[in-house]
Each structure stands twice: as structure tokens, then as C-alpha cells.
Amino acid sequence: MLSSLFRGGFSSSALVELLLLIPIILFSLSAHEFAHGFVAYKFGDDTARNYGRLTLNPLKHIDILGFLMLLFAGFGWAKPVPVSTRHMKNSRLGFLLVSLAGPFTNFIIAIISAFLYFSTLVVQYHLVANGFSEGILRTCGLVATFFYLSLTLNVGYAVFNMIPIPPLDGSRLLTVCLPRKAAVWFFKYEHIIQLVLFALLLLDVLNGPISLGIRFVTNLIINFVGLFPFEFFLPG
């Protein structure tokens, strides 16, 4: 993100895109972490609530280094929401759904963003057809760009978090499915596996598969939402 801005010589379009991305990142990361804590709370674990994490306030969730990494390197993180399975009514199911809650929330945000993106495009087409001013059309274009960036970023964050490598949510799902002995081994060497993940990301080893997954899911959402008759709701 910032790296592309530097490579492009601080073009105005890249700068505008960066400014649009900042609130999207803050909200998407906060919603992701809030969802983890909320589902845990519903299963009887009030740890997240006690730490003040049942909120969408980004100041409670954002990790500065993780935020900067997301801007500079394209991958990053927020402060993990504390969860204790000991307090859950059904610890195994609770742990599974808490792990799914974050990526699922990002998928929902992505779908909503896709609907708003298409709606904005249709409105923009209607404004062009009716000869509205250039300023209004430019604003409408910025709104469309905002929702498209929200779509792609949330898909990217959800897909990235579903990788079954610690500390990502996909690894939590994997441990639920693994035999107990394998799950214990997984937790024991979690910090080493995290370092391996970090190295693979920095070396761009995972860039190809992740990008492929993001494109596939994004196209799936766009094709699905594109079936909706947006023009029907416009005045004649």
C-alpha cells in the first residue's frame, strides 16, 4: 500500500487511495476483533468484556506495528482479543465459532461493500445520463472507490486469516480438528511456526496463493452481488 505509493512517486490517485484505506483498515480490524470477543461472550466467556474489547473503538484494538505493517507490507494484525475457553459453556464449539467469527465478519463487510459499490456505480451512471456537474460525479467516483477498497481489503483480511498457521484464525480451526496429541504439539511449537509464517510473508512465498484466493473470493462476491437488479430502484 504505502510501498506502491512510494514506487509511484506519490501520485495523487495513490495518495487518495491511501487516505481512503485508513478508515477502512481501522474499522475492518476493529470489527474483526469485536466479533471474536462478542461470540466468546455469548458462550459465557466475559474476558474480552472485562478488558474493554467489546467495542468497535479502534483505539482498543489497533496494534501500531501491525497497522503500519498492513500499510507498508500488505499484511498486518490487530491486538488479539483475550479469550478463555475455561469459562465457555461448550468450550470446543465455542472455540470453533470464536475463531470463525472474525473472518466471517470481514466476509459480511465485504458483501455489504459490494452491494454499496454496485449501487454507487448505478447512481453514478444515472447522474452522468442526467448531466450532473463534474464535481458531483467525481465525489460519486470516490465513494465507489471507497466501497471497492473495502470489498477487496475485507476479502483479503478474511482469506489471510483463514490460513491454518499460527497465530491466524485458520490455525485455531485446525487445532479443533486435529487429534489431541497433534493439537498439543501444534500449541507447543506455535511461536516457531509464527516465525516461519512471518518469514514466508516477507519473502513473498505465500503471495501467489493468497492473491489467487483473494481474486477468487472477490470475483465470487462480485458475480453474486451483480445479479441484484440495482437499476430497478432508480427513478425513471
Which residues are part of the catalytic machinery? 33
SS3 state at 81? coil
In angstroms, how far is CA 153 from the centroid of its own chain? Answer: 6
Alpha-carbon gap, residue 72 to 93, rounded angstroms: 36
Alpha-carbon gap, residue 158 to 106, rounded angstroms: 6
Helix (DSSP H) and strand (DSSP E) numbers for the chain: 11, 0
Q: What are phi and psi of 4, to 5 degrees?
A: -70, -30
Contact residues for 210 (Cβ-Cβ < 8 A; gap 6+): 156, 159, 160, 163
- Which 3-state string (H, E, C) describes 176-225? HHCCHHHHHHHHHCHHHHHHHHHHHHHCCCCHHHHHHHHHHHHHHHHHHH
User: Can you list the positions of beta strands (E) in the chain?
Assistant: none
Residues 173/99, Cβ–Cβ less than 8 Å = yes
Does a cis peptide bond (omega within 30 degrees of 0) precede residue 229? no
